[in-house]
């Protein structure tokens, strides 16, 4: 690559030219929570590019499942699982993406109402406190057995060495530290509600990058 990705600011994307003239899109977003890069490349060149990357002794392949466990640790939602067309940014704990001053956008009536009042549910992190792995679709219950929500993503955290997940919880129960139950194959596993982020991201802000480069 002719340009140096280390010069890119965090949360930016750039068209870059490979040595053979192929144009690729490189973004510095870090969806795993690391200070990482994403490369979008024309399909016909992908295999050759991949093989050239693997020739570097510092590069090792890893599966998509690793990306999923890492983004869960960071509390990042995945569209089609934790987000869909029925989800508002307020109930998804993504209110920071909504302007505090403007209206007139798609869905503004619902979003502004939820900002002023409260949504009926909230995306929360879930940490199992007993053995088991909870997956998408697992029912979340209060300690007395009442259904209070649904898990939208779940798996094992390699960093925390325990099962975690995220899902939507009725707003009356959406409190960090609240003890709950997660139904897995007919068994209720003790768990505790957590903020969506279990670990601090290692991505860098634009100002920090300028100092580091």
Please state the rounded mean pLDDT for residues 33-56: 90
Q: Specify whether the CB–CB gap between 177 and 167 falls below 8 A.
A: no
The pLDDT, as a whole number, for residue 205 is: 58
Cα 135 to the center of its chain, rounded Å: 15
Residue 172: how many CB atoms within 10 A of its CB? Answer: 11
Return the structure tokens found at 148: 């209070």
Other C-beta atoms within 10 Å of 11: how many?
13
Beta bridge partners of 120: none
Predicted confidence (pLDDT) per residue in 101-159, tens digit: 788 888 899 999 999 999 999 999 999 999 999 999 999 999 999 999 999 999 999 99
- Residue range 70-106, pLDDT digits in tens: 999 999 999 999 999 999 999 999 988 887 778 888 8
Which stretch of 50-59, 60-69, 192-201 has the lowest confidence by average pLDDT?
60-69
Q: What is the 3-state secondary structure (H, E, C) of the chain?
A: CCCCHHHCCCCCEEEEECCCCCEEEEECCCCCCCCCCEEECCHHHHHHHHHHHHCCCCCCCCCHHHHHHHHHHHCCCCECCCECCCCCCCCCCCHHHCCCCCCCCCCHHHHHHHHHCCCCEEEEEEEECCCCCCCCCCEEECCCCCEEEEEEEEEEECCCCEEEEEEEEECCCCCCCCEEEEEECCEEEEEEEECCCCCCCCCCCHHHHHHHC
Contact (CB, 8 A) for 2 and 17: yes
Q: What gap in Å lies between CA 27 and CA 38, rounded to an integer? A: 5
Q: Partners of 125 in the beta sheet? A: 166, 194
Q: How much is the pLDDT for 209?
A: 43
Residues 60, 77: Cα–Cα separation, whole Å: 26
């Amino acid at each position: 690559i002719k340009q140096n990705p280390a010069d890119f600011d965090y949360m930016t994307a750039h068209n870059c030219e490979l040595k053979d003239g192929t144009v690729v899109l490189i973004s510095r977003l870090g969806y795993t929570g690391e200070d990482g890069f994403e490369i979008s490349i024309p399909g016909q060149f992908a295999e050759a590019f991949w093989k050239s990357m693997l020739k570097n002794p510092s590069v090792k392949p890893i599966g998509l499942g690793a990306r999923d466990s890492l983004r869960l640790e960071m509390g990042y939602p995945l569209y089609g699982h934790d987000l869909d067309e029925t989800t508002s940014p307020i109930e998804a704990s993504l209110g920071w993406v909504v302007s505090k001053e403007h209206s007139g956008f798609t869905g503004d009536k619902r979003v502004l109402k939820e900002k002023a009042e409260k949504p009926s549910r909230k995306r929360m992190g879930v940490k199992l406190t007993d053995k088991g792995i909870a997956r998408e679709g697992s029912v979340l219950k209060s300690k007395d057995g009442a259904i209070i929500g649904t898990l939208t993503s779940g798996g094992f955290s390699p960093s925390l060495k325990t099962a975690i997940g995220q899902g939507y919880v009725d707003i009356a129960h959406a409190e960090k530290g609240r003890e709950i139950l997660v139904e897995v194959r007919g068994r209720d596993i003790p768990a505790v509600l957590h903020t969506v982020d279990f670990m601090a991201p290692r991505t860098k802000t634009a100002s920090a990058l300028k100092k580091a480069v």
